[in-house]
Structure 1
Amino acid sequence: MAIKPGRLGIGIIGAGKVGAVLGAALRGAGHAVVGVSAVSDASKDRAELLLPGVPVLEVADIVERSELVLLAVPDDALPGLVTGLAAMNAWQVGQLVAHTSGRFGIGVLAPVKAAGGIPLALHPAMTFTGMSLDLSRLTDASFGVTAEPAMLPIAQALVVEMGAEPVVIAEADRVLYHAALAHSANHMVTLVAQAAQILGDIGVEAPNQLLGPLLRASLENALTAGESALTGPVARGDAGTVAAHAEALREHALDTGAGDIIDAYLAMSGATATRAARRRLLSAEAYLAVQAALMPDGEPGTGAGGS
């Protein structure tokens, strides 16, 4: 079942940032977008911007008209949407139904398969702005793809047509796959926001300008060299500095109420020390000293030093 440009009539359920952009990418690959669902003013504006001329339709009408239905709705809404449409006998034999959830595989589309449809899971591993610039970003992105073996080439072809790279994820691994992405991308935003808040609180006027080169280099080094790129006081076993950081952040929390920052610092420093010790970047003595330094009344001991 090779997919040819222009072959499929595609319906987009959910004109959020993801659905509108992927619909535009598939349209750009030659497919026809036959309808899109949009409820809020923002989603209607997004549909008009990225999918001009595509009619805004009711969900049931979209399913009826489409050879491929793209479900771009929040994770928690997906099961109810699928089963609700099944109760209406909306799904069709031979119809392709793809969702964009990272958490779910094709199991959540069991009602589609029961009706004779073809379930696919296509999760873009990138963040979206809902603007046209996302289309160019797709060329550097990967999709977590799950499908039955015979249907996997279809899922992969759709991703390739959007300009991205398909990465096959087993059904049983979808939640861990999604957790890895959320843990990295979402928590990175939180960490950057926390660091920027601290710098702003001490009077730095442009925290992002200060942080930008450091964070970009750190991310690039981590992606290129993995954990061997780790640096800083925890990796050096510089327990005295770690203790000073922890104490200063505790005082900062008392002054500002930002207790989330010290909590995150303690959790990430502890995890960093554990991983560094496991890789023998830290001696057992240095590891224990760092862990002690993270305690409110701990004795930091003697670290490895270094500037």
Structure 2
Amino acid sequence: MSTADKRRRGRLGIGVIGAGRVGAVLGAALRAAEHAVVGVSAVSEESHERAANLLPGVPVMEIPDIVERSELVLLAVPDDALGSLVSGLAATNAWQAGQLVAHTSGRFGTEILEPARRAGAIPLALHPAMTFTGMSLDLTRLADCSFGVTAPTAVLPIAQALVVEMGAEPVVIDEADRVNYHLALAHASNHLVTITAQSTQLLKDIGVENPDRLLGPLMRASLENALASGEHSLTGPVARGDAGTVSAHLQEMAAQDSANLRDTYRALSLATALRAIDRGLLSEERGKAVIDALSLDEGQ
């Protein structure tokens, strides 16, 4: 099939820059939607293996060669590397007029692609709001995933269509809101991992062999309730105003010399108490008792 025929059918020649967990999976998802992945860049042994598993038969190429041969360039690189990559390619006149350039960063919108846009390329920001393993199971998980999408109004339907083709749901995010959007996702996802790891370690330290059996049902139910009912689903000693229990928790952590855990517990307990008071879920009197217990511990 000729290039013209592919364009008429909406099929694109796609180049994937960065065969990390995200890039390889999204490349595979676009390939499953009958786009042609013309090349992928890979540096580490892990990325080479990932490319071979998820994009079999796709040649590993140098970045300038990928850009030269692609109608859509997918930039799946770390946030801090994105700007220099785009401007560096612009300095060598690599970008082409009419070429689609999409990045997968949550932090940035399309402004960071300005050097490519000045060369005539069409900028898109497509951020999948999910964590990736870099394995084929991620492809099925895309069906429950949303993407934060930012693009110029005229080409926003293209960005949305690409997301839909990958089986996911596009959510439009304004350029000015990208950092706030990414903050929300990082706070929810990354800190959940930290809390889970800390709680798992506490249970292991007292001899519980399978902490996931205790934490899994509890955390899944808490998350589902929180998503459904917000803070009205809040339970536990802070929500009840049990200052004595909060103090006992803090004393136990002090005895274990767990400064990192105490800091996390104190900060989250204080935030929880203040939000519960503000929303009328916790009385001022009981809330003050919890806050006083947390403040007393901080001064020790």
Q: Same fold (TM over 0.5)?
A: yes
CA distance in 1 between partners of 2:9 and 2:22 (Å): 21
> Which residue number in structure 2 is paired with residue 195 of structure 1?
199
CA deviations on 1:186-228 (whole Å, 9 max, x unpaired) are: 0000000000111111111111111111111111111111111
Residues 84-136 of structure 1: CA distance to partner in whole angstroms, max 9, x if unpaired? 00000000000000000000000000011100010000000000000000000
Partner of 1:58: 62
C-alpha separation between the residues in 1 aligned to 2:297 and 2:58? 63
Secondary structure of residue in 1 paired with 2:26 = helix
Amino acid of the structure 1 residue aligned with 2:255: E
Stretch of structure 1 that moved more, 241-250 or 166-175 = 241-250
Give the deviation of 1:238 after TM superposition.
Answer: 1.0
Select 1:87's aligned residue among 81, 85, 91.
91
**Which secondary structure does the structure 1 equivalent of 2:37 belong to?**
strand
Partner of 1:280: 280
Shift of 1:5: 5.8
Residues 1:221 and 2:216 aligned together: no
> Within 5 A, what are the aligned runs for 1:36-115?
36-115=40-119
CA distance in 2, matches of 1:37, 1:297: 51
Q: CA deviation at 1:250?
A: 1.6
Asked whether the equivalents of residues 67 and 95 of structure 2 are also in contact (C-alpha less than 8 Å), the reply is: yes
- Using the TM superposition, give the Cα deviation of residue 4 of structure 1 relative to its aligned residue in structure 2, in angstroms: 6.9
Match of 2:22 among 18, 22, 26: 18
Alpha carbons of 1:5 and 1:180: their partners in 2 closer, same or farther (altered >3 Å)? farther
CA RMSD of aligned residues (A): 1.4
Q: TM-score, normalised by structure 1?
A: 0.93
In structure 1, how many angstroms separate the alpha carbons of the residues matched to 2:247 and 2:111? 48
Which amino acid in 1 is paired with 2:11? R
For residues 214 and 31 of structure 1, the distance between their equivalents in structure 2, rounded to whole angstroms, comes to: 42
| 1:124 corresponds to 2:124 | no
Bigger shift: residues 137-146 or 224-233: 224-233
Post-superposition shift, 1:275?
Answer: 0.5
Contact 1:17 1:129 in 2 (8 A): yes
1:181 aligns with 2:185: yes
| CA distance in structure 2 between the aligned counterparts of 1:12 and 1:259, rounded to whole angstroms | 43
Please say if 1:148 is aligned against 2:152.
yes
Go from structure 1 to structure 2 and tell me whether the alpha carbon gap of 1:259 and 1:157 turns closer, same or farther (over 3 Å shift).
Answer: same
* Distance in 2 (alpha carbons) for counterparts of 1:278 and 1:259: 28
Partner amino acid, structure 2, of 1:259 = A
What TM-score, normalized by structure 2, do the two folds share? 0.95
Per the alignment, residue 4 of structure 2 pairs with none
Describe the shift of the 1:280–1:99 C-alpha distance in structure 2 as closer, same or farther (beyond 3 A).
same
**Residue 250 of structure 2 contacts residue 297 of structure 2 at CA under 8 Å; is this kept in 1?**
no
How many Å separate the matches in 2 of 1:80 and 1:109? 10
The 3 A distance-change label for structure 1 pair 297 and 134 is closer
Whole-Å separation in 2 of the counterparts to 1:180 and 1:279: 20
Separation (CA, whole Å) in 1 of partners of 2:134 and 2:64: 24
Stretches (4+) displaced over 3 A: 3-6
Deviation of residue 248 (structure 1)? Answer: 1.0
Mapped pair 1:139 → 2:143 = yes
SS in structure 2 at match of 1:101: coil
Among the aligned pairs, what percent are the same residue? 71
Contact 1:121–1:147 (8 Å) recurs in 2: yes
- Contact 1:6-1:32 within 8 A present in 2 as well: no
Partner of 1:294: 294
Distance in 1 between residues matched to 2:104 and 2:259, nearest whole Å: 35
- Picking from 204, 208, 215, the partner of 2:208 is 204
Shift of 1:23: 0.1
Q: C-alpha offsets along residues 39-81 of structure 1, whole Å, 9 cap, x if unaligned?
A: 1110000000000000000000000000000000000000000
Taking the aligned partners of 1:70 and 1:32, their CA distance within structure 2 comes to 13
CA deviation profile, 1:153-187 (whole Å, cap 9, x unmatched):
00000000000000000100101100110001000
1:86 to 1:297, Cα distance in 2 relative to 1, 3 A: closer
2:33 to 23, 29, 35: 29
Structure 2: give runs of 5+ residues left out of the alignment. 1-6
Question: In structure 1, the residue corresponding to 2:14 is in which secondary structure?
Answer: strand
User: For this pair of structures, how many residues does the alignment match?
Assistant: 293
